Amino acid sequence: MYNDFIEDVSAMQVLDSRGNPTIQVKVKLESGAEGISMVPSGASTGSFEACELRDGDMNEYNGLSVNKAVRNVNELIGNEIIGMNVFNQRELDEIMIKLDGTKNKEKLGANAILGTSIAISRAAANSLEIPLYKYLGGINGKVIPMPMMNILNGGKHANNTLSIQEFMIVAIGGKNFKEIMEMSVKVYKKLKEILKSKGLVTAVGDEGGFAPDLEDDEEAIKIIINAIEEAGYKEGEDFKIALDIASTEMYEEAKKIGKDGYYFWKTNKLLSKEEMIEYIIDLVKKYPIISVEDGLAEEDWESWNVLTKEIGKDVQLVGDDLFVTNKERLKRGIKENIANAILIKPNQIGTITETLDTIRLANKNGYKTVISHRSGETEDTFIADLAVAVNAGQIKTGAPCRTDRVCKYNRLLNIENEIN
């Protein structure tokens, strides 16, 4: 067994892509190797996610500073793990979980724990002088994921007329990642031209997608299909479409107006649970949609079961807020025949070990996995290596715009070059 012991653990506050504070953690080993991580943050978050610890001091970054999380790494976590073998990832993660002692990591903060967990893995890989994806996945980690590229933003991610949060393109006709990226960039740029020609805004949202004011969500799908065709490709053959409806937001908006159902608050449209199911089914019938994420709310299990029975054999149904990378919630989904895929966001659960355990459970039960970024990102490329390590086959990391998104794509281009 290899040995390299943790010599120092330190954290500091840095900024994410929205200019909000987040935590950076550095783990240094006796060999001189070190690993550095930066933790992302979501805007549209599931209520069952692990706790992202922020200070709440309105005099500093409007309450969003993370000094408590930084201190927890520097004063508590570091004291527990300094001197331990960096290659004992599971043991180190379990120590942090026990040190926290809460169900949702609210004492130390999932951001403090995850930052340390990722930095440990990166330090271990650097100690062995191997890429992170090889350290996490061994010789079996070699599948470059298909990007689900978010090119139109709505919902909580954009200040426009679209209630659906993400409209994505999936270049199913590409032979390799390099070609897939070129195809996707062409469609993205063609979409910008089309929006400009219509006099629409081409400013981008948090994840690099455009955020125009359109008549409704269905018009967004139509304009993307137009961009695919204008770029010289065929819908359904070269490209398919994926949606992140983020319907928990609509469910909560309905509650605000005293209604039960789903409220498309930007276009003032209220759908019952039954109507929401029919709406999704109708979209899938009309357009080349390959994947629907969070089509229903995180606690609307009964409707999820109906939707899965209706179209689960034909379309990927992804649980994000529904499962929050949590093994226990995924177990319930498997038992009740809910969805057929899970979105994986390490900061929803808080450690690499728990993330990998959830992925294994999904794989064992035939659920597909999609590795995902957050809307508040950094230049950390961990999720690119993770996607390859676990052979996820799919990744969400935004549009080919903004360095916080493009750095993940560039990392995958480099990994593909190494593997081939």
Residue 45: predicted pLDDT: 66
Q: Whose CA is closest to 247, among 313, 315, 310, 317?
A: 317
Is residue 321 within 8 Å of 250, Cβ to Cβ? Answer: no
| Tokens 């590795």 belong to residue | 371
- The domain boundary residue, chosen from 129, 153, 175: 129
Query: From CA 281, how far away is CA 307, in angstroms rounded?
Result: 8
Based on the domain organization, do 315 and 371 belong to the same domain?
Answer: yes
Query: From CA 116, how far away is CA 97, in angstroms rounded?
Result: 12
Query: From CA 38, how far away is CA 328, in angstroms rounded?
Result: 27
The pair of structure tokens assigned to 89 is: 């990832």
66-79 b/e with 16+ CB inside 10 Å = b? bbbbbebbbebbbe
How far from chain centre, in Å, is Cα 191?
23
Rounded to 5 degrees, φ, ψ at 318 are: -100, 130
Distances (CA, A) of 332 to 54, 321, 392: 30, 14, 21
Q: What is the CATH number of the domain that holds 70?
A: 3.30.390.10
Q: Cite the beta strand spans of 20-96 per DSSP E.
A: 21-29, 34-38
- The domain boundary residue, chosen from 72, 106, 129: 129
Does residue 244 sit within a domain?
Answer: yes
Residue 370: predicted pLDDT: 98
The pair of structure tokens assigned to 296 is: 């229903």
Residue 159: predicted pLDDT: 83
How far from chain centre, in Å, is Cα 313?
24
Does residue 134 sit within a domain?
Answer: no
Count of residues making up the chain: 420
Positive or negative: CA dihedral 107, 111, 117, 123: negative
Based on the domain organization, do 393 and 319 belong to the same domain?
Answer: yes
Does residue 148 sit within a domain?
Answer: yes
At residue 360's C-alpha, the angle toward residues 359 and 365, to 5°, is 100
Q: What is the pLDDT along the chain (420 residues), one digit of tens a residue?
A: 689 999 999 999 999 999 999 999 999 999 999 999 999 997 666 678 999 999 999 999 999 999 999 999 999 999 999 999 999 999 999 999 999 999 999 999 999 999 999 999 999 999 999 999 999 999 999 999 999 999 999 988 778 899 999 999 999 999 999 999 999 999 999 999 999 999 999 988 889 999 999 999 999 999 999 999 999 999 999 999 999 999 999 999 999 999 999 999 999 999 999 999 999 999 999 999 999 999 999 999 999 999 999 999 999 999 999 999 999 999 999 999 999 999 999 999 999 999 999 999 999 999 999 999 998 999 999 999 999 999 999 999 999 999 999 999 999 999 999 998
Based on the domain organization, do 247 and 122 belong to the same domain?
Answer: no
Query: From CA 65, how far away is CA 335, in angstroms rounded?
Result: 40
Out of 49, 52, 207, 253, the active site residue is 207
Does residue 1 sit within a domain?
Answer: no
Alpha helices in 316-402 (DSSP H): 327-335, 346-349, 352-364, 382-389
- The domain boundary residue, chosen from 70, 98, 129: 129
Out of 190, 345, 396, 408, the active site residue is 345
Residues 6+ apart with CB under 8 A from 299: none
Residue 229 a catalytic site member: no
Based on the domain organization, do 236 and 359 belong to the same domain?
Answer: yes
Q: Whose CA is closest to 402, among 217, 211, 244?
A: 211
Does residue 371 sit within a domain?
Answer: yes
Residue 345 a catalytic site member: yes
**Would you say the pTM of this structure is higher than 0.75?**
yes
Query: From CA 131, how far away is CA 124, in angstroms rounded?
Result: 10
- Give the count of beta carbons closer than 10 Å to the beta carbon of residue 261: 18
Based on the domain organization, do 164 and 300 belong to the same domain?
Answer: yes
Based on the domain organization, do 212 and 315 belong to the same domain?
Answer: yes
Domain ranges, residue 48: 6-129
Based on the domain organization, do 50 and 165 belong to the same domain?
Answer: no
Q: Whose CA is closest to 377, among 418, 420, 409?
A: 409
Based on the domain organization, do 63 and 114 belong to the same domain?
Answer: yes
Does residue 229 sit within a domain?
Answer: yes
Distances (CA, A) of 93 to 27, 352, 353, 355, 390: 14, 8, 7, 11, 19
Based on the domain organization, do 312 and 231 belong to the same domain?
Answer: yes
Rounded to 5 degrees, φ, ψ at 326 are: -105, 125
Based on the domain organization, do 190 and 104 belong to the same domain?
Answer: no
Query: From CA 204, how far away is CA 158, in angstroms rounded?
Result: 8
Q: What is the CATH number of the domain that holds 147?
A: 3.20.20.120
The tally of CA atoms less than 13 A away on the side-chain side of residue 65 is 14
Based on the domain organization, do 150 and 125 belong to the same domain?
Answer: no
Does residue 212 sit within a domain?
Answer: yes
Based on the domain organization, do 51 and 144 belong to the same domain?
Answer: no
The count of domains in the chain is: 2
- Report DSSP state, residue 213: -
Query: From CA 368, how far away is CA 334, in angstroms rounded?
Result: 12
Give percent helix, percent strand, percent coil of the chain, each to the nearest 5.
45, 20, 40
Alpha helices in 129-216 (DSSP H): 132-137, 177-197
